[in-house]
């Protein structure tokens, strides 16, 4: 498999146009240094923490669902109107974030629109700058849109629909001294980096192949072994004409306390996968991007600095 490191991507993509600003540096200093004397700086940038943004007594949900998707499984037969990749586009990651949802064990539906916190594009850009400056990683590659909506439009939808419910605001150690919107995206990136299923699958000898089926039990067992034997869920898509079934999503469930957020067993969902399934490449190419371990380590360290503030 050809490896395309995201350090090279950062040099060729629009990420290179992102440069540190005095605003982002002051905001980062305020966050990492606590409120203290930088209270005025943080308030000038994001308007301060409102009463609704202060740490709550506890969450009103049981776990957070990290939905991971593979472009190869989503776009393989044209059912979804996926945007086409051009020759100039950097190769996407094999698995990316599809959702970060607040869930209860008593329901299969996520909590939605818990409050009216508006999407703050400036704040998200600041977070993007901070991660880029520390890790050389563009977080848009972790949570892209494949259906014609990307960047701020996609993240605005995710935040306003699901984020206000799943933003980590409860008791220690997850008591952010920064706005909940910042926390929501930051913690989703951390959860992705802590559970790199692409590397887990490769270490288990499982690689994408459009023409060779694999056993679902082997696929799931490999991931579950890599995440400390924690029960996961998978979602598949079947082509109505060819009857070919491909892997589309992997679901990981996260507890609400700890640093990093611990995995918990996922509740059962309706089965959409037969035992024989296909793990598809991205648009017929083996050139998916791979995050180097040292980039993942820098991302984890970056997130940990906020979780343990």
DSSP string, 231-295: --EEEEEE-TTT--EEEEEEEEEE-SSSSSPPEEPPPP------SEEB---BTTBS--EE--HHH
Per-residue pLDDT at 143: 92
Domain that holds residue 301: 4-20+63-307
Give the strand pairing for 245-254 and 233-238. Answer: antiparallel
Looking at per-residue confidence, does 242 or 30 come out higher? Answer: 242
Does some domain include residue 88? yes
Q: Is 138 exposed, middle or buried (0-12, 13-18, 19+ CB in 10 A)?
A: buried
Q: Is pLDDT of 171 > 90? A: no
CA distance 236 to 70: 11
Does some domain include residue 47? no
Does some domain include residue 245? yes
Does some domain include residue 205? yes
DSSP-assigned letters across all residues of 109-131? SPP---S-PPP-HHHHHHHHHHH
Does some domain include residue 55? no
Q: Is pLDDT of 218 > 60? A: yes
> How many beta carbons lie within 10 A of that of residue 241, not counting itself?
7
Does some domain include residue 186? yes
Does some domain include residue 297? yes
Task: Provide the number of structural domains found in the chain.
Answer: 1
117-164 tens-digit pLDDT: 788 888 889 889 999 998 888 898 899 888 877 788 999 999 989 887
248-297 tens-digit pLDDT: 999 999 998 777 788 999 999 999 999 999 999 987 665 566 777 778 88
Kindly state the tokens that stand for 95.
């698995």
The residues with which 163 forms a beta bridge, in sequence order, are none
77-100 tens-digit pLDDT: 777 878 887 777 777 899 999 999
Q: Is pLDDT of 192 > 60? A: yes
* CATH value at residue 294: 3.90.730.10
CA distance 212 to 256: 38
Per-residue pLDDT at 271: 92
Per-residue pLDDT at 212: 94
Does some domain include residue 83? yes
Per-residue pLDDT at 246: 96
Looking at per-residue confidence, does 2 or 220 come out higher? Answer: 220
């Amino acid at each position: 498999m050809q490896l395309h490191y995201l350090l090279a991507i950062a040099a060729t993509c629009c990420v290179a146009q992102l440069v540190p600003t005095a605003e982002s540096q002051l905001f980062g200093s305020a966050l990492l240094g606590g409120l203290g004397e930088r209270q005025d700086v943080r308030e000038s940038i994001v308007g301060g923490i409102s009463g609704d943004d202060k740490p709550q007594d506890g969450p009103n949900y049981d776990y957070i669902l990290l939905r991971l998707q593979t472009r190869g499984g989503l776009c393989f037969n044209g059912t979804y109107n996926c945007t086409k990749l051009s020759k100039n586009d950097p190769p996407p990651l094999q698995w990316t974030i599809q959702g970060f949802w607040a869930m209860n064990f008593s329901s299969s539906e996520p909590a939605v629109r818990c409050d009216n916190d508006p999407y703050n594009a400036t704040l998200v850009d600041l977070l993007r700058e901070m991660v880029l400056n520390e890790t050389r990683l563009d977080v848009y590659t972790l949570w892209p849109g494949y259906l014609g909506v990307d960047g701020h439009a996609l993240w605005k939808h995710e935040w306003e629909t699901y984020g206000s419910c799943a933003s980590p605001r409860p008791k220690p150690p997850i008591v952010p001294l920064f706005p909940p919107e910042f926390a929501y995206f930051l913690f989703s990136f951390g959860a992705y980096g802590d559970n790199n299923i692409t590397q887990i699958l490769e270490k288990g000898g499982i690689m994408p192949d459009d023409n060779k089926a694999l056993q679902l039990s082997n696929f799931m067992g490999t991931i579950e072994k890599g995440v400390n034997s924690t029960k996961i869920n998978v979602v598949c898509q079947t082509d109505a004409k060819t009857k070919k079934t491909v892997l589309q999503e992997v679901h990981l469930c996260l507890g609400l306390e700890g640093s990093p957020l611990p995995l918990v067993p996922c509740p059962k969902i309706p089965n959409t996968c037969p035992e024989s399934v296909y793990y598809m490449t991205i648009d017929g190419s083996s050139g998916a991007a791979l995050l180097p371990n040292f980039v993942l380590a820098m991302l984890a360290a970056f997130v940990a600095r906020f979780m343990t503030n």
